[in-house]
Structure formats: structure tokens, C-alpha cells
Amino acid sequence: MKRTACILGGCLIGIWLSCTTASAFNFEFHGKMWQTVGITDNSGVLQGALKSGGTNYFGYSDTAGKEYLNITGATGEGAYKFMDNDISTNFGLTKARLRFEGKTDDDRAKFVYGLEVGTANWGEADKGMGLSGDGINQETQFAYAEIQIPALDKNQKLRAGLQSTGINEWLWSETAAGLTYLGKAGGGTSWMLGWFRGDEDRAGNSSDNDYFALKLDQKLTKSVTLGLFGVYADVGQEKTTALVDYDAFTTGPAAVYNDDTYYVGLTGKGKSGPFFGNFDFIYQGGDIEFETRGYNDLDHSAWLGNLTFGYQFSENFKLYANALYVSGDDDASDDKAKNFKSIDVDVKVGIILTKDSLLAECDRFVTDSPYLMDKGLINYALTGEYQLSPEHNFRAAARYLQTAEDLDGYAAAADNEIGTEFDFWYAYTYNKHVSLLMEAAYLIAGDGADQLTDNVHDGANDVYTMAAGITFSF
Amino acid sequence: MLNPLRKTLFVMALWMGCFPDPMRCVAADLPVADIVQSLGRMEAAVIVQPDGRLLLNKGNANGIQRGDLWRIYGPGELIKDPVSGKELGRMEETAGIARVVRTEERFCEIELVPGKKASFRKGHQALRFDGITAVFLDGSGTGYDLYETLRARLPALRWRGYEKTDSTTPVTASPETLLFSVRNDRLTIWSGGEILNVYGGARVSGPALAPAEVVSPAPVALPRTEPAPALLSSQPAESIKPAVQPVPGLMTPGMSAHLITRKYRSVGSLDRIVYQLEVMPVDESGKPSFVYLSNDGLFVQSVLGQGTPYVYRYNGFGRVAGISVGRNGMIAMNVFNQKDGEMTSLLLRFSGERFEVIARDLNYILAYVDVNDDGTIELIGQTFDRESFFGSGVYELALQGHQVNQVKAVNVPLGFRIYGAFWADLEGNHTVENGYYNAGRRLLLYAGGEETWQSTDPFGGSIQGVSIKNIESEGATSRNEIIWSPAAVVPYQKGKFVAFAKNDASLLNIVGLRPRKGELGILYKQNGRHFSRVVEASFEGPVQSVFVWRDELYCAIVEGGLFDGKGKTHIIAFSLDELKKALE
């Protein structure tokens, strides 16, 4: 206790000195806190069952012709039965982040350490939100150092440690530990070259879980930017957690496999007068080789296409349409894995399923990836946004959601229609530190959603969520 | 026994009765703006008639009233250098105090206040209500707020203080005194033995600034001791040090001898927190208007606190991230759209009656700056970068129709930030130095690609900032990028000096919060050495704007609750001549 107090005191003195003396080193503290309350008629959509970073879906078969579905990393049955839970609930959520930066005046070197109190339900005793609090609930979000490369100009840096990948919002945007080289040049060129280490669970630090990434962005005109990226992933010694007989949802034997996969992507963003838009196209190739005998190897052949096109009617009103196609796998018995797999993302395709919400910022969502299991996703959305005043922002969207391939479990007829979703967001900016957010969403469940519940008689029910919260940042 | 409800009401009534009722405050009911304007300073010249009568070249048309008191200044004694015998100038002095006895359209007649010395000559200068003794008698007990307000807004008066009186005591006003008498929510103003006006009941909102104070020849050119405006924590007038503070020994960099100046005035106040304030001629007549940015919008107003200001409210996507005032009514408004990760800045033109959006969706951080230090203001833009906010490219821009095009690249050092940047040939040797604030909140100077100077301490920045989300993850924390106030580049000797807001660097800066107090910094160069000094005036709030208009240096100081955006802005003007003398 005494030691902690001494360390804390020393830090404060250091900070004070840096603020008041001729120091060329600066410290910054920043933080953000969410306090959210909400209600839904289906608590299953809050469970975060399909997290991209921890899952790897693919359908495969053994030499006897039996079909399996790998759901490595998925959160139990929630991965395929999230529409099953018709339990209404109201809830309160707390989340907080702190970020500490120490950097030289000239920005040539800095270190960043970020802490997070991951979202805890009010009353969740395990996370210290029960009676009397006292939870041990801090996590490390960032821990990296960055230096300007000696002999090169200030716009070329090395970054090492747990950092944001930022490659593409549909492929990889979350944090990972690695070493990156970031650069910018005149004429609007920027690039990143990096090596990241994926989930590594062996003390020996094998070389079987590596990602190599390259990203290049070029500004073509004042308002048009084109980007290119590539990622090669060498993920080895993974084990399947297979569902045998997809229709029956029974667990099959584990098998060991190596997944060598690569991604090539092209992105664009532009604006011309009142028109604006962006696109992403990503192709996934490579193969999955089983070390365990008796299984057929697979070739990756998947793709994702995203197109947004909009028109700004006035300085405070715009309307835009989005079409998203993420390929899925329709046949576990062939030698293709045609489903697209993100590495680790937080995509925003509506409130109920994905992360375009206050709830999702508080880690309450179905999936953070642009697909459901190995079936892909199709989204057609029309969104309107209106800025009533600097303080009041409204946004509303209607979207039609499908999986790219049919969901075909249980006795119900196979179908790919998840449903039609209506989303509404309102943000009140009290000042630059404090905002009040409100949101509501309603999903009219389609026939395909019946496959995401074991309620074979009545099928899936419609789902609504409503939430309101305050964010405080400094 | 009282029931609980009655008991509660009784206690509340008793409690409320312990405090003055703000609704009964006299100041709230009176047209303070009109009062301040009618008692504002004014300059006139003395005309001596052949029959000995004295006139001033100002009359009814200028708002002159019978009873107005004037202080007349004569050329005073000739000062000679005891060594060389050269004439150094004249020590101007008061020739007498006079009151207006008759007014005409364009002139008025004055007479000497009995008992005061008089040696009037044609051409002597006269200043209305300058250094005139003011007395405030409160017979109602509710006038203290009004007293404070008037004292703050009429700093040229020699205030004798606030006195409570019996409301039945007859008021007697001496002819050389300005007397404010409050009785029964009615204010009577006596001057020169006359009642100038009686106020009561009328409600007028908004602060005021005498319009002539901005556009008239600077009254601060006359040597006199002024009472300190309310915001200035200065020494009493009697103990003010000489105008030019001698610095012992050789002037060396690192000495922070304060610059002493007695010549300043309170220009006016605004009932809102202003992030940026400048003066801009908006038409060919050269008549200036104040341009200021607050949470409520961008305002243009010819006279602060009077009339309805013209306002432009940006209600589009993104947040306003500072303005920059050009010429011919041009105003650059920076807009940062966090959600889309871009700047969507605007170019506006104020035509005298309305705003027109000339160009929009400009993906630059814009500023009007004299990049070449040749007296011509150019529009420059720094490119935007999603991660660091400030991109690496800076360009001189040209407006062609509704399009803004790059003319040429501006050579700036790495790490350059456009907010608060300036270019100045400080020593007049054709070497233009570029000053900017770096990420560590230090002021740096560069010339020819080499750093020539850097401030030792970090500065506190500005209360205006743009909140930028770290793009590293969803739900990321934000950081505050300071929108530094533009500096004022002032001709000085053969070169220039730079006046800038030097706000305090406090512990709160590490969490991106505002500075609490500020000073007026002066950066200049002599014999190849840079000097950074501050004007000896401790402001009760951060300095938000510094700009020059004619021969005065203006500062805008803010106070109040910056979290909820409620507060005031006070404008103080310093005599440039006096500052230059202090520098010498």
C-alpha cells in the first residue's frame, strides 16, 4: 500500500513537473465512460455470441462423406440460436476507458497505455457491479510504443506492441500485438507494413499464428481516395469444435488443421458536389489443410463487396443507400470454403445484429462480423441523417437483411431472410465532453430467422431493443 | 403547532428573505447601455471666440448635453535633454475642467467650472468625462450591482466610491462632479450641476460598447492615468510605475521583465463566451465591425451590445473548429466532421447585411494569414489527417468562383500546425520567420527550414478546441486539439513584433481542459536575438483573442463556466504607441 502510494505520488510529481518546467516531454490522460440503460424483448441479441476475433467458421466433410460445421471460438449455442431467447429484460450497463499517452513535444516518440473496464451489467457481481462493488475488472486495451525512424522524416514511424490494426473495417480493425511501419508522403500517400501475432496459446511461441499486412492509400484528387491492401495469415495447429450433422446440432470430434489464407482488398472513397460514396471489395483465398487424417482439405474462395452511395440535400440532411454482400458457403461436402471470414472487426450493419449502436459500444450485440456463421450476409439499407442544430442529430434507417446462403436447420424450410429492421438514433451533444444518446430498433423476423431458434412450431419472433445512455469523455 | 407544509413554507420564506431579491436589482431594470454611451468619452477641440467665450466642435448631433463635463488638455511644459539640450517633447497637462452650458447642432458652449484653473487656447484638446470625479449615492439599498456595472464600464471616471444614503436626504450635486443618485428604483444622473437624465422602469437587455471608442481617434494617445478596468488586476493608479520599465543591465534573452503600460481602456463586454473575436472592415467605407464566434454562432456587429448582430449558425454535420477573418467580408469557417473523418470547411462572405456561403466542403483547415509578410493576407489551408488531424501539406489557396484551388505549396516545418501560426520579418532584414505551436504546446520559430527559437515553457492554449476521437478502435477515447488564437503581427521599428495570447499551462492541460488565466505575450527580435515578454496585466481569465485595429492592440478575455458555456467576454485595448515605447 505504502509502495503504491509512493509510486502514485512520484507519477503525479512527474506530471506536475512536466507541466510546469522546461520539459520536452508531455503527458496526456484521456477517458471515456458510458452509462446506459435499455430494454429488449429478446436478451439473446445482447450476448455477443459471434465474435469475429475468436471464431472460425467453415463447413467441411470427412472421407466418409459426413458433413461438419466448425464453430471454433463461438459462444455455445448462442452462435446459432440467438433468436431463441424470448426473455424480455431491462438492464443497466457501465463501461469505461482510460488512455494514457506520454510523448515528446515534437511527436517523435510516444508510448500509449489504454485501460478498459469492459462492459458490466448493473448487478453483475462477477464484474464488481453487485452490492458493494469492489470488482476486479480492468483490462488492457492498448500498450504500444512508437518512434520516428531515425534518419527518415517525421512521417515515418515504427510502432510496437498491442495496437490498432486499422486495415479495413470489414476485415481487420481491432487491436493486435505486432510491429508496424507507418509512413506518409506528400501527395496524399500513406502506407503501413506490419507483422502481427494472432492468438498464441503455447508457451513456446511457435511461428504458427502470424499475420503479415500491407496497406497503401493514395489520394487521387482532393476528394477521391483509393486504397489497396493485402493480408497473409498463417494460422496453424488449430482445432475444430465441429458440429456434426448441422441439422441436429450435435458436437463431433475435434480435428487439427492449418489455415493459410490471404486477402486482397481494394477500397475507394469519394465526393463530388452533393454526391458521395465509398466501396470495398475483398477477396479471400488460400487453403485449409487438416493434419488429422480422414478429412478433406478445403480451398478458400470468398469475397465481400460493399457499396454506399449518397446524396446530401443540404448541409444538414443527407440520404444514402448501402448494399453489402458477404459470401457464404452452401455446401459443406465440397472442397471449397466459400464463406468470407473477417479477422477481427466491429462492423456497423444496424442495431440489432451488429455494432452500429450505443448498446454495441457497450459490448451488447449478436455479431461484430459481417456474417452469421458460414452463411454470409446481404444487407440493403437506406439511411437518412438530419442535423437539426449543432446539438441535435437524428438518424434513421430501414434495412433488409438476408444471409447469402440459406440457413437450413430443423424442420422448417430453408430460407435466407433474416428480416426487415428499422433503426433510429438520436444524439444530443451537451458539450464536447458530454453527450446523451438514444436509440431504438425493431426487427421484423423473416423466415430465415426461424432457423436461428429451436422454437420449431412458432418460429422466430420479432425483436426490439431500446437504449439510452450518456457518454462522458475528456 | 404548524403543520409540516406550512412550516416548510415559513422556513423557505425566511430563507429567501435573507437574500436580496435579484428581481429588485436596479441594474436589471435600467438601460445600462444607453447610460454608458451617454457618459462615454469623446474627443473635441476647443474654439476660443473673440469675445472670450469657449466653444467645442461637438454639438447635439454628437450627443452632447447641457451639463456634460470636459477635461481640457494643454500642451504643457517643454522638456529638454539636460545633456544635449535637444527638445524631447511636451508634458501635456490638464488646463482645466469645463461644463457645457449651451448646445447647438454642431458645437456647444462651455464654461469653466468655478475654482478650477483656466488657461484655454484655441486647439486645445478636450475629453468628455475624462478623469471626472464620480459619486454614487444609493438611497434605495438595491443599487450596488448598478454601481459595479457602471464602474466597470466607465473606467475613465475617477470614482469616489459607493455610498448608502437615506432616501429622504436631499441630493446636492457640485458642478464639477458626476453624481448618480438611486432612489426608489429610479436613477438620476447629475453633471455640471444639471440633471442629465432620469431613468426608471425601462428594460433594455445586452451589454454596450460606445461605438465611437472603436472608430474614433484613439483617446489613449493622451497621457493620463486611467483607473484599472474591473478585469485588470493592476496596481492603483497612484502607484503605477513609469511607462517604460527600465531593464537593468544588458537586455538578454531569458529575462522576463514585464512590459509596463498605463494606457489601456475597457472597450466593452459581451454576455457570452467568445472563442474568437476580431475586427473587420465589411464595406468600402472602411467602417469596422466586430466578428466573433461563440457557441451560439458566428456574429458580426458594428457596435458591441447595440442593435441586433448579424448571425450565421452552422447547423450542418460536424462541429465548427475555429474561424479566420480575411478581408472584404471573407471569413473562413473550419468544420470538422468526426463521423465521416473529414474537414468540411466553408468560406463565407459577409456583405454588410447577410452571409453568403461562397465555397463549402473544403477538406482543409483554413486560415487567413500574411504568409509572405508583405501586407497581403492569403488564404492558406493545411491538409487534414484522420489520425493526427494536421496533415503534412500546406497550400496557398485561391478562390475562383465557388471553387477553391491550390496555388502553390507553402514550405512549413514538419509538425507544423496551422492554428495560431504566423509569419513575420521580426527584425526587418528580409528574413521571414514562421511561428507555430507544436504538439507540446510550445511556440517555435522557423526560418529557412531551421528552428530559430522555441519557448521554454509550454503554454496553456485556448479554451477553444476540437475533440478528436482516436481512430484506433470503436468507442475510442477522444483527445483535445487546441485551436490556438491567431497572433497579431505589429510593425515595430524596421521589423515586426508579435502579440499573442499567453495563457497559463496548468495540470488540467493533460486532460485537455482549458487554461484558467492568461497574459498578453510579446515576441520580438533585436540584434539577432529573440525576446519573449509579457505585458504587466494579470487577467482574470484566459486571453482568447489578440488583434490590432488602427493604433490599439485588443485583447478578448473570457470568464465564466466553460463547461456549460455560460460566461462573459471582456475586451480591453492597449495603446500600441505605449507598448512600443515600453519595448524600446
pLDDT at B313: 92
Residue A217 in 3-state DSSP? strand
Q: What is the pLDDT of residues B139-149, one digit of tens each?
A: 888 888 888 88
* Interchain proximity B474–A361, CB inside 8 Å: yes
pLDDT at B422: 95
In the β-sheet with B529-534, what is the strand arrangement from edge to edge?
B488-492, B495-503, B518-526, B529-534
Give the rounded percent of residues in chain B with a pLDDT score beyond 90. 22
User: Which site among A13, A222, A388 would you substitute to test the B interface, given the most B Cβ atoms closer than 10 Å to its Cβ?
Assistant: A222
When computed from its CA atoms, the radius of gyration of chain A, rounded to whole angstroms, is: 24
pLDDT at B582: 83
**Beta carbons of A110 and A104 less than 8 angstroms apart:** yes
d(CA A348, CA A365): 11
Any CB–CB contact under 8 A between B296 and chain A?
no
CA distance, residue B128 to nearest chain A CA (Å)? 45
d(CA A350, CA A377): 13
Any CB–CB contact under 8 A between B457 and chain A?
yes
Q: What is the pLDDT of residues A419-473, one digit of tens each?
A: 999 999 999 998 888 999 999 999 999 988 888 887 666 778 899 999 999 999 8
Band (pLDDT 50/70/90 cuts) for residue A22 is very low
The answer to ipTM > 0.85 is no
Joined together, the cell numbers standing for residue B423 give 509569419
CA distance, residue B271 to nearest chain A CA (Å)? 19
Instruction: Tell me which residue of B274, B278, B304, B282 sits closest to B291, measured CA to CA.
Output: B278
Looking at beta carbons, which residues of chain A come within 8 Å of B317? 315-316, 318, 385, 387
d(CA B316, CA B313): 9
pLDDT at B123: 66
pLDDT at B121: 66
pLDDT at B513: 67
Give the rounded percent of residues in chain A with a pLDDT score beyond 90. 44
Q: Residue B560: count other Cβ atoms within 10 Å of its Cβ.
A: 15
Joined together, the cell numbers standing for residue B11 give 422556513
For residue A15, give the nearest of B320, B465, B507 by CB distance: B507
Burial class for B210, CB neighbours closer than 10 Å (0-12, 13-18, 19+): buried
In the β-sheet with A250-251, what is the strand arrangement from edge to edge?
A56-61, A67-72, A242-244, A250-251
Residue A2 in 3-state DSSP? helix
Joined together, the cell numbers standing for residue A257 give 488443421
Lowest mean pLDDT among A209-213, A408-412, B451-455: A408-412
Residue A9 in 3-state DSSP? helix
Closest B-chain CA to A16? B507
- Can you spell out the DSSP letters for A48-100? --B-GGG-EEEEEEBTT--EEEEEET--GGGGT-TT-----EEEEEEEEEEEE
Q: Read off the amino acid at residue B134.
A: A
Q: What is the pLDDT of residues A67-121, one digit of tens each?
A: 888 887 666 666 777 887 678 888 899 999 998 888 887 778 888 999 888 888 8
pLDDT at A328: 95
Joined together, the cell numbers standing for residue A218 give 493514395
Q: Read off the amino acid at residue A292.
A: T
d(CA A243, CA B424): 73
Q: Find residues 223-252 of chain A whose CB sits inside 8 Å of chain B.
A: 223
Residues of chain B where predicted confidence (pLDDT) is lower than 70: 1-29, 90-92, 114-123, 167-172, 200-257, 262, 283-286, 305, 471-475, 507-513, 562-564
Joined together, the cell numbers standing for residue A458 give 412458432
* Interchain proximity B414–A153, CB inside 8 Å: yes
Closest B-chain CA to A187? B393
Any CB–CB contact under 8 A between B438 and chain A?
yes
Band (pLDDT 50/70/90 cuts) for residue A392 is very high
**Whole-model pTM above 0.90?**
no
Q: What is the pLDDT of residues A143-163, one digit of tens each?
A: 999 998 877 766 789 999 999
CA distance, residue A177 to nearest chain B CA (Å)? 13
Q: What are phi and psi of B376, to 5 degrees?
A: -110, 130
H or E stretch including B151? Answer: helix B144-153
- Can you spell out the DSSP letters for A409-461? -SSSPPEEEEEEEEEEEEEEESSSSEEEEEEEEEEEE-GGGGGGSS-TTT-PP
d(CA B463, CA A307): 40
Any CB–CB contact under 8 A between A146 and chain B?
no
When computed from its CA atoms, the radius of gyration of chain B, rounded to whole angstroms, is: 27
Q: What is the DSSP letter of A376?
A: -
* Interchain proximity B513–A346, CB inside 8 Å: no
Higher pLDDT, B512 or A175: A175
d(CA B278, CA B285): 18
Mean pLDDT for chain A?
86
Interior/surface letters A181-194, b for 16+ CB within 10 angstroms, e for the rest: ebbbeeebebbbeb
